[in-house]
Amino acid sequence: MDENPGVSEEYRMVSPWPLFVALGIPIAEIGILFGLVPLAVGGLLLFCGSIAGILRENEYVSSAWRGLAGVSVFVIAGGLALWYADTATASDLLIRAYSLIGTGVLLLVAGVGGDLFARDAEPGL
């Protein structure tokens, strides 16, 4: 009974991010579907922020800021796609497109800014 049983008790099994990834998705979905800008922006910020945090925790990215900047590209791309679809279809998607692009830009600024200025906040790197 040495090796495996109970091993999972013996190292730290905690991460704060999954809860917020899971909260971010529905908030963003509702916001985008119904065109509610605060929910769309807030949900996306929460979702993307948590993704960046989880990537950092996994050490898939070297800092959460860079993760943020990376994620922002996808959000901006999604926003641009909606912007294009707005002109190509009868549906009114502009407000949603702006929410996505705006959030993406915010994330990008935060990511780049954080990476440049807030490096000291991450000791040990």
Least spacing, CB of residue 2 vs another protein, in Å: 8
Of the candidate spans 58-66, 69-77, 103-111, 112-120, the one that interacts with another protein by CB under 8 A turns out to be 58-66
Q: Closer CB to another protein, residue 23 or residue 80?
A: 23
CB 125 within 8 A of CB 62: yes
Per-residue contact flags (x/-) with another protein for residues 22 to 51, judged by CB under 8 A: xx-xxx-xx--xx-xxxx-xx--xx-----
Distances (CA, A) of 75 to 15, 16, 56, 81: 24, 23, 19, 10
Q: Which of 53, 65, 41 is nearest to 17 (CA)?
A: 53
Q: Does 120 bind another protein (CB under 8 A)?
A: no
User: In this chain, which of 48, 53, 65, 111 binds another protein, going by CB under 8 A?
Assistant: 53
Measured CA to CA, the distance from residue 123 to residue 110 in angstroms comes to 19
Nearest to 51 by CA among 15, 98, 82: 15
Residues that bind another protein (CB under 8 A): 1, 4-23, 25-27, 29-30, 33-34, 36-39, 41-42, 45-46, 53-54, 57-60, 89-91, 93
